[in-house]
């Protein structure tokens, strides 16, 4: 989710639609009919929607910049001439610098006659402070460098709803800001300044209102034509981007116009990309795939947005950019099935690639950082299934497969991968978190020995000692610089430099996470709460860090059970924030932190209300949700500054203050917390964009130094509410922190604030820095990486540019992320030798051991460490996988095979797929038994209960409770009697005689109304179906019963085979003849009451119908008439 470009056609339609809805003046709403050409357009049948003699413009609509300069605009032509031009250009290849694409989309629209001096330039784009407007009084293809020429005006979130037409005039059009503009020349006869200002000022105001309302992130119009006679404003050429995170807000207004977000110029969406995008839309997890080179030799399956970028970086840094086949990531705990489908897609691409370097085998990198909550074994199982599917093809190509991963259940996941390699005969090399995250790249591409040799090289490779990875060079660079470390938070600040420590530092110093920090978790996130409590316990906190949970959908205030070590504690749950914060008063608590787990759709509202209503108590809010629209995020950022509430995020995993406080799931599972030594403080503090890579940083830092002091993930959105500097200033002021680490990424300019702080003396501690996304320079077109902000919008935002600038400012910047850990180690060892880091203190820290904490039972069971007998056994359905399964058949297959309700009954009652004729018979029984009028006892009870005002369930149960031997319960007995007699080889006459002599009735024989002369049509239907569709000669019990009927009807014509008997006999015949059941199983199902169950299921349909009928008829309470009751109490009294 990010800023995404849209076609000019879509942008103009959005503007026109908004103006129509808001009744904007015709002089401004001048966008007219357009004709859009896509690959599906049949130009041989093209019909003009324009006036007959209309003059038109034709141009490609494919995110191509500078079309006029490239000769790609056809002006002042008829519709037929435009169509012919489009035909010539269609499917032609266009190359701009190193990027090529095929022209397939075009726009034909009215030509607007105008003079050069009527052309203007305007651009509105999103910046951290709000929306910046660039305006210049000249436009068109020769406008030149507008960044230098244009008037700039920033509209902040606070101003957005307040600005009026006069503000646009004053800040963009007036003589004060544009003295040389022709329309400000009072001597000119072409303009009346005041009228022109009012006319254009109103248009600009409406244009900005539209921009803000529709969540545009970028809108450039060049030229914007304003007629001198003020008869109209015309948008000629337009480039636009929308904030795709606002799709849920803007669905109604976008849906008719925005049918797609087109790929960047130079990239045509591949079928595989579209397939993965379709999977991504159907899941809460994240699945991304961009095919960079269909004939690449190197392919990646990487978990995590941040990790996916550094793997691509490392491949490119090693010189293999042209052989890289894809960029992509899976994250957010996708299911095993989704992971398998994603892996199969990438593997198929690898196998179909026709790469040039045949001397080397294809390479598959299965990588990832240390996950927070994704079950590594589960996702690896999906990948293993994919590898097994294509094992022969992978072996034939001698594919090298390198695996590296950490996180929940990673040990089992890696074990499964090793076993997979042995079982399938694949060359799979497996590594865990003890190996640097990108080390497998050099192993796979250079060979393990050469990779290790490269790591040990000692000679410098550059004259400039910045940005290289060797220990000697780092030491030389270190010695050339001056560093200082405050010895105390306040007193160490040089009074002469007091002015350098601005209000930002004061605010950051005011809030410091500690062992006494108390938080509210917003949202019923029990897993995150338990993770925070487990961290508290191993840090030996006195009190839990979670004071309460706020869950607005809770039934009422209550408590939830959690664990504190091996003891049980209760955490209160409240429906509103006010009740939770009341703990500060009633229990003298000190709650000042909120971990906000609200969804992306509600996080803005929830956070805004927290700040507005509770800023007196709350000092810090972490917003975990990803996908909050930029405009709303900037409003939150503005509110946070106004009310002094620090916001971490959005789109953050959180942060951690080692040994003191943990936000949510930061740091991952407990085993990673322990292995990364986060239960006690170290000397290195980091700030990262990526949440996933923050775990990796903790791992790297703990392996190379004495550990983490504090770490924060500010979030991957383009404009996170806190910046690198907000946290670095706090680290700078913390005496126990000696080294600062920054992990930035491509896109944005936050790193330049760090550079300025170094130059101004605000940051005086050594800084190791790296910006991921260096691979973007090697791609021929723009690629949107995993995070919303990870896309460069200009040279300055490129990762290589930022790395170079950071290096020049004095940061220690590696040549590749591969060297990141080694630089951290080198600086740490240097400070240890200088005594900046106290050796005795380090030894004391290293002796600290965390207290043991019991494993959660469910997790231990998942790891195979415990076992327990189940309380329940279920053999008919399973809802735990990717889709619901009935008796082994996925729900999708049930509909695909069209087995109907009869087939579903077969699966759920008999645990097997029955033949189609059996399924159809079950459905016939349900139809036949559905109802038998309102007079029967079950329907009668249902009606009486419904008329008593009871609900549907109560009324249905009242009817069902009457089913038994006298009503509807004869099917099982009929099946037993007829099948037993047949199996005992009794003749029909013997059966009738023995039953009569025993004083029993023959179940399934007899009817009150129907007779041999007036047959029950239900029985006729059943018998006809049995003889037409059952297997040949399978109707043995039915035929036997019909012979019995011939005997009983001689005595009385209504002693016929009734519907219960017919169904029972046919069902026994089906069970015995369909080759799906053994004889014992048939007897078992009859004894279990299966046939009566058919009657219960069918008759429930009728009972529900009677209930609805009575409610529809609005029938009142039923009272039985007294004249229909015989009272005989007087007789009893007389007798007494």
Cite the active site residues. Answer: 787
DSSP track, 776-804: GGGSSS----SSTT-S-SSGGGSHHHHHH
CA distance 791 to 290: 14
CA distance 239 to 1028: 70
Name the token pair of 940.
């009668």
CA distance 531 to 672: 12
β-bridge pairing 216-226 and 130-136: unpaired
β-bridge pairing 546-550 and 889-890: unpaired
- Tokens 């077109």 label which residue? 781
**Strand, helix or coil at 119?**
strand
CA distance 143 to 586: 66
How buried is 813 (Cβ within 10 angstroms: 0-12 exposed, 13-18 middle, 19+ buried)?
buried
Name the token pair of 415.
């074990």
3-class DSSP string for 169-235: HHHHHCCCCCCCCHHHCCCCCCCCHHHHHHHHHHHHHHHHHHHHHCCEEEEEEEEEEECCCCCCEEE
Give the largest Cα separation in the chain, rounded. 127
DSSP character for 550?
Answer: E
Of 578, 516, 571, 581, the C-alpha closest to 549 is 571
Q: What's the CA angle centered on 813, arms 810 and 817, to 5 degrees?
A: 170
CA distance 536 to 559: 20
Cα-Cα-Cα-Cα dihedral of 106, 110, 116, 122, to 10°?
A: -60
- Tokens 């809460």 label which residue? 284
CA distance 356 to 832: 50
CA distance 1014 to 1012: 6
CA 579 to chain centre: 32
- Tokens 């979670």 label which residue? 546
926 Cβ contact list (under 8 Å, min separation 6): 901, 902, 1094, 1097, 1098, 1101
Of 547, 614, 552, the C-alpha closest to 578 is 614
CB atoms within 10 A of CB 927: 13
Burial per residue of 243-256, b for 16 or more beta-carbon CB atoms within 10 angstroms, e otherwise: bbbbbebbeebbee
How buried is 829 (Cβ within 10 angstroms: 0-12 exposed, 13-18 middle, 19+ buried)?
middle
CA distance 743 to 769: 6
| Secondary structure element (H or E) that encloses residue 595, with its range | strand 591-596
| Secondary structure element (H or E) that encloses residue 22, with its range | none
DSSP character for 319?
Answer: T
CA distance 494 to 490: 9
How buried is 496 (Cβ within 10 angstroms: 0-12 exposed, 13-18 middle, 19+ buried)?
exposed
CA distance 413 to 422: 15
- In sign, the C-alpha dihedral spanning 583, 584, 587, 590 is positive
CA distance 315 to 326: 11
Contact at 8 Å (CB) between 422 and 388? no
CA distance 218 to 460: 45
């Amino acid at each position: 989710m990010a800023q995404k470009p849209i076609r000019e056609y879509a942008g103009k339609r959005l503007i026109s639609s908004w103006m129509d809805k808001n009744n904007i003046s015709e002089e401004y709403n001048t966008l007219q009919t357009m004709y859009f050409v896509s690959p599906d357009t049949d130009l041989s049948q093209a019909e003009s929607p324009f006036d007959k003699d209309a003059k038109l413009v034709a141009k490609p609509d494919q995110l191509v910049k500078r079309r006029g300069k490239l000769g790609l605009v056809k002006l002042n032509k008829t519709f037929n001439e435009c169509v012919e031009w489009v035909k010539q250009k269609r499917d032609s290849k266009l190359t701009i610098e190193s990027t090529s694409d095929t022209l397939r989309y075009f726009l034909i629209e009215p030509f607007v006659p105008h003079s050069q001096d009527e052309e203007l330039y305007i651009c509105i784009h999103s910046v951290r402070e709000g929306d910046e407007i660039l305006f210049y009084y000249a436009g068109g293809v020769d406008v030149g460098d507008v960044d230098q020429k244009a008037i700039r005006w920033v509209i902040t979130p606070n101003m957005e709803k307040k600005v009026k037409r006069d503000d646009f005039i004053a800040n963009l059009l007036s003589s004060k800001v544009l003295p040389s503009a022709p329309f400000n020349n009072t001597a000119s006869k072409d303009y009346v300044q005041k009228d022109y200002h009012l006319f254009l000022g109103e248009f600009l105001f409406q244009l900005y209102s539209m921009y803000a309302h529709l969540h545009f992130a970028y809108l450039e119009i060049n030229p914007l034509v304003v007629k001198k006679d003020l008869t109209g404003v015309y948008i000629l050429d337009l480039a636009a981007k929308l904030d795709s995170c606002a799709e849920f807000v803007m669905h109604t207004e976008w849906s008719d116009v925005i049918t797609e977000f087109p790929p960047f110029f130079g990239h045509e969406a591949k079928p595989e990309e579209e397939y993965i995008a379709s999977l991504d839309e159907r899941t809460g997890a994240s699945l991304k795939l961009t095919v960079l080179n269909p004939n690449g030799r190197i392919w990646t399956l990487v978990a995590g947005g941040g990790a996916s970028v550094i793997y691509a970086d490392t491949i490119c840094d090693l010189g293999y950019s042209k052989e890289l086949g894809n960029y992509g990531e899976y994250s957010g705990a996708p299911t095993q099935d989704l992971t398998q489908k994603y892996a199969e897609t990438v593997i198929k691409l690898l196998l179909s690639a026709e790469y040039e370097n045949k001397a080397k085998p294809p390479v598959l990198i299965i990588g990832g950082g240390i996950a927070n909550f994704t079950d590594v074994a589960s996702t690896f199982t999906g990948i293993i299934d994919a590898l097994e599917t294509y094992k022969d093809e992978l072996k034939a190509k001698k594919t090298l497969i390198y695996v590296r991963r950490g996180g929940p259940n990673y040990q089992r996941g890696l074990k499964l991968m090793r076993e997979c390699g042995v079982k399938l005969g694949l060359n799979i090399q497996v590594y865990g978190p003890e190996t640097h995250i990108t080390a497998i790249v050099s192993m796979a591409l250079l060979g393990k020995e050469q990779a290790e040799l490269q790591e040990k090289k000692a000679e410098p490779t550059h004259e400039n000692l910045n940005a290289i990875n060797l220990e000697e060079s780092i030491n030389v660079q270190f010695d050339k610089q001056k560093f200082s470390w405050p010895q105390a938070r306040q007193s160490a600040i040089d009074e002469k430099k007091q002015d350098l420590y601005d209000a930002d530092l004061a605010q950051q110093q005011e809030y410091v996470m500690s062992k006494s920090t108390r938080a509210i978790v917003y949202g019923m996130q029990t897993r995150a709460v338990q993770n925070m409590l487990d961290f508290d316990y191993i840090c030996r906190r006195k009190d839990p860090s979670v004071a309460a949970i706020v869950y607005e959908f809770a039934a009422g205030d209550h408590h939830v059970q959690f664990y504190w070590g091996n003891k049980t504690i209760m955490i209160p749950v409240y429906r509103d924030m006010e009740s939770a914060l009341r703990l500060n008063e009633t229990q003298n608590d000190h709650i000042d932190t909120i971990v906000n787990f609200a969804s992306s759709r509600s996080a803005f509202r929830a956070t805004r209300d927290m700040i507005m209503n509770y800023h007196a108590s709350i000092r810090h809010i972490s917003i975990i949700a990803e996908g909050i629209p930029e405009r709303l995020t900037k409003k939150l950022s503005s509110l946070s500054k106004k009310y002094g509430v620090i916001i971490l995020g959005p789109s953050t995993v959180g942060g951690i203050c080692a040994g003191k406080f943990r936000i949510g799931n930061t740091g991952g599972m407990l085993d990673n917390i322990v292995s990364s030594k986060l239960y006690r403080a170290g000397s290195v503090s980091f700030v990262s964009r990526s949440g996933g890579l923050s775990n990796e940083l903790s791992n790297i830092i703990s392996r190379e130094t004495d550990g983490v002091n504090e770490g924060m993930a500010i979030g991957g959105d383009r404009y996170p509410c806190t910046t690198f500097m907000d946290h670095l200033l706090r680290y700078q002021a913390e005496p126990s922190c000696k080294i600062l680490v920054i992990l930035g990424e491509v896109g944005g300019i936050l790193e330049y604030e760090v550079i300025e702080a170094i130059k101004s003396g605000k940051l005086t501690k050594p800084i190791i820095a790296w910006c991921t996304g260096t691979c973007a320079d090697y791609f021929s077109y723009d690629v949107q990486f995993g995070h919303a902000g990870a896309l460069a919008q200009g040279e300055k935002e490129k990762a290589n540019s930022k790395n170079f600038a950071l290096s020049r400012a004095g940061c220690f910047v590696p040549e590749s992320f591969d060297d990141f850990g080694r630089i951290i180690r080198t600086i740490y060892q240097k400070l240890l030798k200088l005594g900046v880091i106290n050796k005795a203190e380090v030894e004391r820290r290293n002796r600290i051991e965390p207290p043991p904490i019991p494993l959660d039972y469910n997790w231990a069971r998942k790891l195979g460490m415990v076992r327990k007998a189940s309380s329940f056994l279920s053999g008919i359905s399973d809802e735990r996988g990717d889709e619901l399964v009935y008796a082994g058949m996925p729900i999708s297959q049930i509909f695909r095979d069209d087995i109907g309700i009869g087939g579903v009954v077969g699966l759920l009652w008999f645990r097997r797929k029955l033949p189609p004729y059996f399924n159809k018979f079950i459905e016939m029984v349900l139809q036949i038994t559905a109802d038998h009028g309102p007079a029967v006892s079950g329907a009668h009870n249902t009606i009486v209960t419904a008329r008593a005002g009871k609900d549907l369930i109560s009324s249905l149960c009242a009817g069902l409770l009457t089913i038994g031997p006298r009503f509807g319960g004869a099917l099982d007995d009929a099946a037993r009697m007829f099948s037993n007699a047949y199996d005992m080889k009794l003749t029909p006459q013997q059966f009738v005689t023995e039953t009569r002599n025993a004083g029993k009735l023959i179940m399934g024989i007899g009817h009150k109304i129907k007779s041999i002369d007036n047959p029950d049509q239900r029985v006729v239907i059943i018998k006809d179906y049995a003889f037409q569709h059952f297997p040949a000669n399978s109707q043995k019990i039915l035929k036997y019963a019909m012979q019995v009927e011939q005997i009983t009807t001689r005595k009385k014509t209504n002693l016929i085979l009734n519907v219960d008997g017919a169904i029972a006999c046919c069902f026994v015949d089906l069970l015995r003849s369909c080759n799906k059941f053994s004889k014992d199983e048939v007897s078992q199902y009859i004894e279990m009451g299966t046939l009566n169950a058919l009657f219960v299921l069918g008759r429930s349909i009728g009972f529900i119908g009677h209930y609805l009928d009575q409610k529809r008829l609005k029938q009142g309470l039923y009272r039985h008439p007294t004249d229909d009751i015989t009272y005989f109490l007087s007789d009893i009294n007389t007798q007494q």
